[in-house]
Amino acid sequence: MLGPLPPSLLFLLLAFQAVAAGASGEELGPVRLNGIWGESVTFSLVVPRGSRVDSIVWIAKSTIAIVEPGKEAPPLVIDQRYRERLRVPDGGYSLQIMDLSQEDTGTYTAQITTEGTTEPIFQRFALHVYKRLTESDINIVPGQDSVRTVNGTCNVTLNCSLLGGGEEVTYTWTQTAESSVVSSGASILISHRLRSGVSPVTCMARNPVSSSSKSISPQEVCEGFSSTGFPAGSSSPVTYCQVKGILLLVVLGALLTAIGMVHVLTRDKERLD
């Protein structure tokens, strides 16, 4: 079984692909790159050895810049969304985009024109921009109507998500006592015996550039719920029959009050007569 290619051999292989692409005008790639919000990414080109590059036109949804290698002048920025965010490191063949945002996600094509050839070389890059995750990005909440208590046991479904959403995010749950993954996915069902200790659970969120975690105590979620499934300190729910009886008493009370008032008014009138 063959091991990894030596760096020198890998470079020669890429250079050979670039020569082949230059001969046919076909695109090379795309090469996937992962970028981070607010940081920078560099598109590194592979140019056939011995070739002199006249110009490189960088294209995304539209032409964004034109670079003439070897010149000290900055790249000619065409798309103003990239103004003051592009640079060519050391005046070479690479292009660097700074202060990345989600809007920079997409496919970038370098159209390389070399001296003495009529067909340009195309190299493509697929850029994906992600946020570097922090604990404050993670939100853990009980599922709607998910907290249930039966015979002194609280069952609760916890949902883990990212505030503002995110692409290619995976979630895993661990529990301190077990120190191992207890569930994979955004949700977990926890059964907690009321008035007994239980270790916190931790949700870890990962995307292709970072990971972060946040913990929560099932005991805190279940706190305030009694074994009957209603908030501690409260009575059992009022039934329909009880509500009906109360309303009937109110109506009867109002009716008796009205009769009493009519009787008093009639008696007073008779006295005056």
Q: Is the model's pLDDT at 113 over the cut of 90? A: yes
pLDDT tens track for 204-243: 999 999 999 999 988 888 875 544 444 433 333 333 344 4
Q: Is the model's pLDDT at 40 over the cut of 60? A: yes
Q: What stretches of the chain show up as alpha helix (H) in DSSP?
A: 7-24, 218-222, 240-272
Give the model's confidence band at 136: pLDDT under 50 very low, under 70 low, under 90 confident, else very high. very high
Q: Coil, helix or strand for 72?
A: coil
Which own/partner pairs from 73-77 qualify as long-range (CB within 8 Å, at least 24 positions apart)? none
Q: Coil, helix or strand for 59?
A: strand
Q: What is the mean pLDDT of the chain?
A: 78
Contact, 78 vs 57, CB < 8 A? no
Cα separation, 198 vs 232, in Å, equals: 19
Architecture of domain 135-222: Sandwich (2.60)
From-to residues of CATH 2.60.40.10 in the chain: 7-130, 135-222
> Which residues lie below 8 Å from residue 67, measured CB to CB, with a gap of 6+?
55, 56, 57, 58, 75, 76, 88, 93, 95
Q: Is the model's pLDDT at 170 over the cut of 50? A: yes
What's the mean pLDDT in 139-161?
84
Question: Candidates 3.90.1150.10, 1.10.357.10, 3.30.930.10, 2.60.40.10; correct CATH number of 7-130?
Answer: 2.60.40.10
Measured in degrees and rounded to the nearest 5, phi and psi for residue 182 equal: -105, -15
Scanning the structure block, which residue is given the tokens 């659970």? 201
More confident residue, 108 or 218: 108
pLDDT at 245: 58
Cα separation, 25 vs 121, in Å, equals: 6
